[in-house]
Chain A
Amino acid sequence: MSAPVSAIREPLITGSKTYHQITEDLVSPTEKAPGLSWIIAFSVAAALATFGVFCIAWTIWFGIGSWHLNRTIGWGWDITNFVWWIGIGHAGTLISAILLLFRQKWRTGVNRAAEAMTIFAVLCAALFPGIHVGRAWVVFYFFPYPNTRGPLWPNFNSPLLWDLFAISTYFTVSLLFWYTGLVPDFATVRDRARGIRKKIYHFLSFGWNGSAKHWQRWESISLVLAGLATPLVLSVHTIVSFDFATSVIPGWHTTIFPPYFVAGAIFSGFAMVLTLMLITRKILKLEDYITLAHIESMNKVILVTGTIVGVAYLTELFIAWYSGYVYEQFAFFNRALGPYWWSYFGMMFCNVISPQFFWSRKIRRNIVWTFFLSIVVNIGMWFERFVIIATTLARDYLPSSWSFYKPSWVEIGIFTGTIGIFFVLYLLFVRVAPVVAIAEVKSILKSSGDQYSGANAHHHHEEAVSTDNH
C-alpha cells in the first residue's frame, strides 16, 4: 500500500509535515476545550434538533394529520427528506470503499469525515421511515422474525421491505468500516491521554498495540469491508428507487430510476462532503491535509455525476414523449409547467446547470465558489426528490383527485430537526475523534519520506504562494 509521489504529481499532504506534527494537528482538537464558534454552532444545532424532536413527538401524539399530506399526496417532505439524506449518505462509502479499491490515495484526507457523515446522514434518513407511518408503535411488523402472530411474515414483494434490508445493511457495514478505521487512531489518542480519557479511549481502541499482526489484520478487514461495501453503494439507492420504479404511477414507473438515483446520490453525497470539509478544514486548520487538490477531485466527481443526472432528466423527457402514453407525457409536462414548475426549474438549474461551472479549473479550485455550488447542489437534489415524490402524486391518473401540497410547520420542524441532529453528531464527532484518518495519512507521507525535502518542499512553497493569491 504505497503511493508513489512523482515529481509531476502534486503531493497529497502539504506543509512539510512530520509524523509527530500530523499527530499533533489531528489529535489536538480532541484534547482542547471547544472554541466559541464550535459552541455557537453546537447550540444552534442542538436547538434545531430539540425542536425537531418536539415536532416528532407532536406527530406521534396527534397523528400524521399534523402534516399537510392528503388523500392524493401520501408522501411529501417526509420521504423527500428520507431519500435526500440517504443520497447524502452515499459519498462516505464511495470514498472509503470504491476509492480504496481503485487505490485513490487522495481519499485518505477526507474519508474519515465522509464516513462519519454517511453514518449520521443514514441515521437522519432512517428516522423518516420510522415516523412517517401512521402507527409508529407497530413498526416492528416490518421485521421478519418468528412471531406469535401466526407467525405472520412481512410481504417480501414490497419495495419498502427491501428498503429496510438495504438501509440497515448499508448502515451496519458503513458503521463497521468507519469504526475499523478509527481503532488505530483511537489508540493514538489513548497514548497521549490521561485519566478518565485514557480509560475511555483504551476501551474504544480495543487494546490496539500497533503490532505488525494488528496492522496486517486491520488492513485485511479494511479490504474485506471495502469489498462488501462496494456493491452496497450501488444497491442502496437502487432499492430506494424501486420504491418508485415498481409502482404504477406515471412519473414513478420508469426503468431509468436505479442508475439515475445512484448517480444523483453520489452527486449529492459529494456536495455534502464538500460543504462539511470546507468548514471543517477552515475551523480545524486542516488546509494541509484537505488540500485544493482534494477539493478539485471532488468537484470533478460532482461535474461528472451532475452531468449524468442531467442526461437522465433529458432521457426521462424523451422517453415520456416517445412512449406515446398520455399519462406519462402529462406527468412530465406537468412537472415542468404545472403548479410545481418552480421545483422542476430549481432541480434543473441546481443539478444540471450549476455543476457545469466546474468545467473551469479556476472555479474548481476556488473555495468560495465550491462552497456556494455545493450548497446549490444540495438544494437541487432536495428539489429533485420533491419533484419526483410530491409533484408526481399531485396530478396522477384521475383529474378529480388532483390536489396540492405544502408542508405544515411540523414537517418543516422535523426537517430542520434532522439537520440539527446531523450537525450535533458531526460537531461531537470532530471533538472526540480525529477528523482525518491519522494512520492512513501517515501511510501516504511515509512513502514519500525518502524524497521528502525535495519535491514536496517545492510544491509546498508554490502552493502557499498560489493560495495567497486567492
Chain B
Amino acid sequence: MKGKNQGVWIGEKDLTNDPSFIEISQQEFASLPEILGNEEAVEQVEGNRRDFLKMLGFGVGAAAMAASCDIPIKRAIPYTVKPDTIVPGVATYYASTYTNGSECESILVKTREGRPIKIEGNDLIGYGGTSARAQASVLSLYDTARYKNPMMNGGDSTWAEIDKKAIEVLASSNSVVLVTPSIFSPSLQKAIDAFTSKYNAKHVQYDTVSHSALLDATEKAFGLRAFPNYHFDKADVIVSFDADFLGNWGDSNKNSVDFISKRKIKTVSGAKMNRLYQVETHMSLTGSNADNRVLVKPSEQGAAIVALYNAVTGSSLPGGALNAKAKKAVSLMADDLKKASGKSLVVCGTNNEAEQMLVLAINNALGNIGNTMDMSDALMTFKGDDKAMMQLMNQMNSGSVDTIVLMDVNPAYDFSAGGKFSAALGKVKNKLAIAYSNNESVDGAMITAPSSHYLESWGDAQPNPSKYMLQQPAINTIFDTRQDAETLLTWAGVDYGGDIMNFVSNVFAENAFQNQSSSSNLKRYWETALHDGFVSVNTTSGASGFSGSASASGITKPVGGDGIELKIFEGALGNGANTNNPWLMEMPDPITRTSWGNYLAIPVEFDGFRKMISMNGLKDGDLVNVTVNGDKITVPVVQQFGQAPGTAALALGYGRTVAGACAQGVGVDMNPFVGMDASGNRSYSVSNIEISKKVGKEKDYSSVQYHHTYGVTDTDKATGKEINADEAALVTFDYGMGVQGYQGALKNRSVMYYSSLEELGESVAELKKRREHAQHLNDAQIYGGHDYKYNNGHHWGMHVDLTSCTGCSACTVACMAENNVPVVGKTEVARHHEMTWLRIDRYYYGELENPNTVYQPMMCQHCDNAPCENVCPVNATNHSSEGLNQMTYNRCVGTRYCANNCPYKVRRFNWLDYTTADIFPGNQPTLNGENTPFGADNLTRMVLNPDVTVRSRGVIEKCSFCVQRIQSGKLTAKLEGRKLRDSDVKTACQTACPTGAITFGDMNNKGGNLDSKLKNPLNFIVLEEVNVRSSVQYQMRVNNRNEKLDA
C-alpha cells in the first residue's frame, strides 16, 4: 500500500502519504501515551478518574434535583407479575347482568387492562343489543359523585364503625323498615329475608315509575302479583293504551326485539307486518313507531278502554264521553283485533286498576292469554306497591317508624307525594342509607353504607322464573365500597364466610341447579352460567287461570271543559336514577331531540296559511309558567307534533336537587305533581292546568334538531286543498307577496323514503324510477372515479333498515362509549356543538296533527367519491383502499371546509377543549358548573377506550366505521389463518342495536350478511344524485297504517 493512493482516503495524511503517518497506521495497536500506569503522568493530567466520577455524581445529582421539581407524576404502574387474564392491548370480555331498578339485561363487559370500558349485548340470550341506559351504565362506574367510603353523620368513617353502630341502632329499634326497589335477585332476596327476620323489619318495594295497578289487577285475575310476559313476536295486531313498551314499559329491550321481528321486509310481494295502534296523549317512543296513533286526553283513556271492551265483547259498560275520532278508531281497532283473535295483544300503561282489569278481560275475550301473553313465566322485575308506600308514609308521619333503611332508592324524589314523603322521612329517628351516591332521600343519613357498582359486584337476577342470570365483577372495588347483599348480611349478623361469591353460588345451587336437568355437576354448571351469563331453569311462577271481572266503576272519568290536561311521563332517561350520567343527559331525547332538561310538550297546529302555531303563540324554547294544582313552575316549551289537542306533557327524571354536578338543577322535577287515584295508585296526569303566555326565553335551548318534518300535510285555508304545511312554513318573510312556500322543497328530496304496506309495490317502483334517474345523472360525467381500487380486498359498507329502527338511541350512546366521543354540556349543545358521530334524525310525515315518524340513524357515509376529501388543503382526510373515509387527527388544521362540504353534515369539529388534549391550560368548558371539567377528570377518563385517539381541540372528527374494530377483526382472521367472517367485525352501533337495524360488513364478501341485505329492493342511498357514492344504504321505512282510520 505504501506510496499508493488508491482513491480512498480518510484524512489529508492519506493523500500526502507522510511516511511517519504510514508507519503508525500500519501498527495494529498504536502506542498511546502511557498514563494510567504512570503515577507522575497521572498527576500531570488536570482531571483524573476520581474527579471525573465526582463531577459526574454531582452533575447527575444536580440535574436530577433540578429536573424533579416539576416533573409530573405519571400513574403508570407496570405489572411485575403479569396476571393470566390480562394481556396488554387485548380486551377481555366477561358475561354479566346489568340491573338498575327494574331494568335487567344480560350483557358482556369489555375490559382493557383491568378496566371495564364498554358494555355489549349478550348474543347467547337470543338477541344481541342493549338499551341506551345499559350502554351508559359503564360511565356511572366512574361517577365522580359516588360515595367513596362509609360515612356516619355526614363525616368519614370506617366499615367497622358503621357496622357496629348500625347493628346497635337496628337492635334497639322497635320498628324497622327496609325500602328497596323491586327485588328480583335471589341472593339479595335471601339477604333481605335474613335482615327482615333478624330485626322483624318490614320490607317495602316500590318502582320509580309505578306499575302497581297492573300488578294489583294481575293479582286479582291470576292470583299472582306479577307483570305479564308479553310476546309481541306472536301478535299480529297490537293495541296499546299509553304503554310505552318499546321505551320504558316491561322488558322494553326484549319487547323491541319481538315487536320488530314482525316488521322485517325482505321482498315486496307477500310482505307482511304486524300492526300497532297506540292510544295516547303524548308522542311516546312506542307511539312514534305505531302505525296508527289515536289521540286522547289522559282523562279519556278509561273511556277508550271501555269502548274497546264493549266493542270486543259486545257488552255495554258505561265509559263516558270520548272524542269522535277516537270513537271511530276504537271500533276499527276492535274489528282488527277480533280478526286476529289469539294473535293479538292489548296492553295498557295507565296506572289504574279498573282499566288494567278491563284490558286483561279484553285479552281474555280475544283468547290472547296463554298465546301472546302469559303469566306462567311472568316478568318479576316489577313488584312495587304504591299502597304499601303510602302506608309507610303515614306510619312515618305518626312516628311509628324508628329506623328506616333506604337501599338504592330515592323516594323523597321519585315518590314525592307532593313533597310529603320527604317531610315524613324527616320524622324518622334513624335513617340508614345503603346508596351509591348522595340523593334527596339519603342526604343527612345517620349511617351511609356505600354500595358497589354492579360492575364491581357478584350477584344474580331472575327476571323471569325461567331465566337465571349471573352478575360477576369486572373490576375490583375502586373505592371503599361494599355490595348491598354484604351490607345487609353483615347487619343481619349472618356469617357468609366473608366471600360474597360463595354466598351467590350457594343461592345459585339452591335456586338454579336444583331446578334444572341439563347438568349434574354443580361446579361445571356454575362455570357455564358464569361464562354464558345466564341459564334457563324449570321454574314457573305458579299463576292460576284468568278469573277477573271487568267493571267500569273505577276508570278515569273524562273531565269536561276546555281545561288543559297535563301528562307526566317517563322519557328516555328514566326517573332520576340516570340523571347524573352525562352520556344519557347528552343523548337527545328520541322524540323531541332535546337534551339536558325536560321540555313542556305542547301541540302544534297549522294556521291554514304559513305558520305552525301552538297554544298562546308559544315557540320552541320559550319559557312559560305552568300552574299545576296551584303550584307554579317555569319550564321551556317544545312544540310537539302528535300531541293531543288541549294537552301538554312533561317528562319525569329531572330537577334533581341533591345529586352529582351533572344532574344538579337541570330541568324541573315533576314528581311532586304525580297524584294518587281513588284505589291508591299513583296517577300520572293532572287536569285543568294553566299555561301562561311566554315569560322569557330559555338561555340554552339545547335541541339538536330545529326542523322536524318531512312533508306533513294539512289543509290550506284559502283553497281548501291539502298542502305540505311544513313546506309552506319555511317562509319567514314574503315581502307582502303572499308567497306560501315552495311545495316539494322537502318531500322531493332523496333524504328519506317511506311507504305504507298497502302501497309498497307502487312506492318501490317510484323509488326505482328515482334511483335510475339519479344514476343516469351520475353516469353523465367525465370523471371515472376510483371504484376499481376496491375490488380486490375489503370494501366496507353498511345497511340500515329504517323500519327496524325504533329510535331507542342505544347506538348513539354505544358510539360515544366506543369512540371516546366527548360530552359537551347544555350550553354547547344549544349552540349545536354536540359531538355525536352517530345521530338519529327524526322526521314526521303524514298528517300534521297526528303524523307518523321515521328515525334515520345518520353517520359518516364513507363516500367513495367523498366531497370532504378533495377540499382538505392538507390531506387530513383521505380514502383507504378498503373504502374507508379516514380522518388523520394530527394532520388536521381545522379549516372546517370538509364539514361545510359534507352533504350529510356528519363531521364534528372540536370547538373547545372538551378532552384536555391541547396545550393550553384552564380552557376546558364545564358541563354543568362542576369543579373539575368532565373531560379533565381522571376518574371519568378511566372509561376512555385506549384503542381510539382522544381528539384535541381544533380538529374535525367523525364516524370511522369503528376502524379499530376492523383492524382487530382483520388481525383475528389473520392469526387464525382464514378469511375474514362477518362476525369478526361488528361496529359498536351494530352490536348495540337490539332490533338488528344496522348491518356492517364487507361489500365484496358475496353471500355475506351485508351482501344479502344490499339486494333488498327497498334500499336507497341518501342524496344519491349528488354522486358522492355513499357506502351506506338505507331501507325504506314501511308502516302498516290502517287507512280506514283517516277516511
Across the interface, do A247 and B895 meet the contact criterion of CB distance under 8 Å? no
Q: Are B739 and A337 in contact (CB under 8 A)?
A: yes
Minimum CB–CB distance for A338 against chain B, Å: 6
**Is residue A102 within 8 Å, beta carbon to beta carbon, of the partner chain?**
no
Of the candidates B739, B831, B918, the one whose C-beta lies within 8 Å of that of A70 is B831
Chain B stretch 867-915: residues in CB contact (< 8 A) with chain A: 867, 870-875, 891-897, 899-901, 903-905, 907-913
Inter-chain CA distance A288–B858, complex, in Å, is 66
Residue of A nearest to B747 (CB): A326
Q: Is the CB of A71 within 8 A of B732?
A: no
Chain B residues contacting A142 (CB-CB under 8 Å) are 873-874, 893
Interface residues in A103-133 by Cβ distance below 8 A to B read 129, 132-133
**Per-position 1/0 for B725-750, Cβ under 8 A of A:** 00000111111000100101110110
Residues of A within 8 A of B267 (CB): none
CA distance A152 to B735 in the complex (A): 53
Of B163-171, B705-713, B1039-1047, the segment with at least 4 beta carbons within 8 Å of chain A is B705-713
* Known A71-B832, A141-B893: A400·B871 in contact at CB below 8 Å: no
Do A141 and B896 contact each other (CB < 8 Å), given the known contacts A330-B742, A333-B742? no
Query: How long is the Cα–Cα vector from A161 to B873 in the complex, in angstroms?
Result: 5
Contact of B900 among A74, A158, A404 (CB under 8 A): A74
CB distance B751 to A138 under 8 Å?
A: no
Residues of B within 8 Å of A70, CB to CB, are: 831-833
A443 interface contact, C-beta 8 A: no
Does chain A have a CB within 8 A of B689?
Answer: no
> Given that A74-B896, A141-B891 are known contacts, is A248 also in contact with B901, CB under 8 Å in the complex?
yes
CB-based nearest A residue for B836: A71
- Segment from A58-66, A166-174, A291-299, A447-455 that makes contact with B: A58-66
Given known pairs A75-B896, A135-B893, A164-B873, the reply for A339 and B858 (CB within 8 Å) is: no
B731 and A402 within 8 A (CB) = no
Q: A133-B954, A247-B900, A337-B732 are in contact. Are A71 and B923 (CB under 8 A)?
A: no
Are A402 and B745 touching (Cβ within 8 A)? no
Asked if B894 and A399 make an inter-chain contact with CB atoms under 8 angstroms apart, the answer reads no
Instruction: Give min CB distance, B730 to chain A, whole Å.
Output: 7
A138 touches B893 (CB 8 A): yes
* With contact pairs A141-B893, A164-B873, A249-B901 given, residues A64 and B909 touching in the complex (Cβ less than 8 Å): yes
Interface size class of A (residues with CB under 8 A): 35 or more
If A134-B892, A398-B905 touch, does A248 touch B867 (CB 8 Å cutoff)?
Answer: yes
Asked if A346 lies at the interface with its beta carbon under 8 angstroms from chain B, I say: no
Q: Which of B843, B870, B925 is close to A158, meaning CB atoms less than 8 Å apart? A: B870
How far does the alpha carbon of A2 sit from the alpha carbon of B748 in the complex, in Å? 64
- In contact, B843 and A71 (Cβ under 8 angstroms): no
Give the nearest-CB partner of A159 in chain B: B871
Contact A71 B909 (CB under 8 A): yes
The answer to whether A135 touches B874, judged by C-beta atoms less than 8 angstroms apart, is no
**Chain A residues, Cβ within 8 Å of B710:** 399
A246 to B955, CA, bound (A): 23
| A62 contact set on B, CB distance < 8 A | 912-913, 920, 923
Are A158 and B871 in contact, CB atoms less than 8 angstroms apart? yes
Q: Answer whether residue B841 sits at the interface, using C-beta atoms and an 8 A cutoff.
A: yes
User: Taking the complex as formed, is B828 at the interface, i.e. its CB lies under 8 A from any CB of chain A?
Assistant: yes
- A205 to B842 Cα, complex, angstroms: 68
Instruction: Report how far A152 CA is from B876 CA in the complex, Å.
Output: 11
Q: How long is the Cα–Cα vector from A158 to B744 in the complex, in angstroms?
A: 34
Q: Does B757 contact A (CB under 8 A)?
A: no
- A65-79 contacts to B, CB under 8 A, are 65-66, 68-72, 74-75
Tell whether A65 pairs with B925 under 8 Å between CB atoms, given A133-B894, A133-B954, A400-B841. yes
Contact B831 A68 (CB under 8 A): yes
- Minimal beta-carbon separation of B1033 from chain A (angstroms): 16
Residues of chain A within 8 A of B733, CB atoms compared: 337, 341-342
- Interface pair B904/A134, CB less than 8 Å apart: no
Q: Does B834 contact A (CB under 8 A)?
A: yes
B908 touches A71 (CB 8 A): yes
Chain B neighbourhood of A402, CB < 8 A? 706-707
A63 pairs with B923, CB closer than 8 A: yes
Asked whether B875 lies within 8 Å of A338 as measured between CB atoms, the reply is no
Let me know if B953 and A63 touch, CB within 8 A: yes
Q: How distant is B1020 from chain A, measured CB to nearest CB, in Å?
A: 14
Cβ of B705: which chain A residues have Cβ within 8 Å of it?
400-401
B530 to chain A: which residues have CB within 8 Å?
none
Question: Residues of A contacting B874 with CB < 8 Å?
Answer: 141-142, 154-155
Residue of B nearest to A160 (CB): B873
Asked whether B1023 is an interface residue with its Cβ less than 8 Å from the other chain, the reply is yes
Q: Is A329 an interface residue (CB 8 A)?
A: yes
B871 touches A247 (CB 8 A): yes
Are B905's CB and A155's CB within 8 A?
no
Q: Write out the residue numbers on chain A whose beta carbons fall within 8 Å of the beta carbon of B305.
A: none
| List of B residues within 8 angstroms of A161 by Cβ | 873
Q: Does B91 contact A (CB under 8 A)?
A: no
8 Å CB interface, A311-352 against B: 326-327, 329-330, 333-334, 337-339, 341-342, 345
* B745 and A326 contact, CB distance less than 8 A: yes
Determine if A64 and B901 form an interchain contact, defined as CB atoms under 8 angstroms apart. no
Q: Give complex CA distance A341, B735 in Å.
A: 9
Question: Does chain A have a CB within 8 A of B1028?
Answer: yes
CA distance A326 to B730 in the complex (A): 14
Which of B875, B893, B925 makes the CB contact (< 8 A) with A153? Answer: B875
- For residue B1026, CB closer than 8 A to chain A, the reply is yes
Which residue of A75, A153, A342, A400 contacts B858 across the interface (Cβ within 8 Å)?
Answer: A400
Max chain A Cβ within 10 angstroms of own Cβ: one of B705, B706, B856, B867: B706
Q: Which chain A positions have C-beta within 8 A of B735?
A: 337, 341, 345
- Tell whether A180 is near chain B: CB-to-CB under 8 Å: no
A346 to B619, CA, bound (A): 27
Give Cα A403 to B899, complex, Å.
14
The answer for the CA separation of A161 and B893 in the assembled complex, in Å, is 13
Given A134-B892, A397-B751, A398-B751 in contact, is the A65-B873 Cβ separation under 8 Å?
no
Docked-complex contact B899 and A160, CB < 8 angstroms? no
Tell me if A384 is interfacial: C-beta within 8 Å of chain B.
no
Partner of B732, one of A68, A158, A326, A341: A341
Tell me, in angstroms, the Cα distance from A155 to B397 when the chains sit together.
75
A247 vs B913: C-alpha distance when bound (angstroms): 29
Whether A400 pairs with B896 at a CB distance below 8 angstroms is no
With A and B bound together, what is the CA distance between A159 and B953 in angstroms? Answer: 24
A155 touches B870 (CB 8 A): yes
Q: Say whether B894 contacts A65, CB under 8 Å.
A: no
Would you call B875 and A155 a contact (CB within 8 A)?
yes
| Chain A neighbourhood of B731, CB < 8 A | 337-338
Given the known A-B contacts A65-B912, A154-B874, A155-B875, are A337 and B901 also in contact in the complex, defined by CB atoms under 8 Å?
Answer: no
Contact (Cβ within 8 A) B909 A134 = yes
Q: Does A26 contact B (CB under 8 A)?
A: no
Whether, in the assembled complex, A157 has its beta carbon less than 8 Å from a beta carbon of chain B, the answer is: yes
Q: How far is it, in angstroms, between the C-alpha of A345 and the C-alpha of B593 when the chains are bound? A: 33
**Min CB distance, B807 to chain A, in Å?**
13
Who on chain B is nearest to A75 by CB? Answer: B900
- What are 25 A-B pairs with beta-carbon distances under 8 A? A62-B923, A63-B953, A65-B833, A70-B833, A71-B905, A134-B955, A135-B892, A135-B952, A154-B874, A157-B870, A157-B871, A158-B870, A247-B901, A248-B903, A326-B748, A326-B749, A329-B745, A333-B730, A337-B739, A338-B731, A339-B732, A341-B733, A341-B735, A400-B707, A401-B841
Q: Which residues of B contact A (CB under 8 A)?
A: 705-707, 709-710, 730-735, 739, 742, 744-746, 748-749, 751, 828, 831-834, 839, 841-843, 856, 858, 867, 870-875, 891-897, 899-901, 903-905, 907-913, 918, 920, 923, 925, 952-956, 1022-1023, 1026, 1028
B-binding residues in A (CB < 8 A):
61-66, 68-72, 74-75, 129, 132-135, 138-139, 141-142, 152-155, 157-161, 164, 243, 246-249, 326-327, 329-330, 333-334, 337-339, 341-342, 345, 393, 396-404
Give me 9 other A-B pairs in contact (C-beta within 8 A), A62-B913, A159-B871 excluded. A65-B828, A74-B909, A134-B894, A141-B874, A158-B897, A160-B873, A246-B870, A398-B841, A400-B843
- Which 6 A-B pairs rank lowest in CB-CB distance, beginning with the nearest? A134-B894, A134-B954, A65-B911, A74-B896, A70-B832, A65-B912
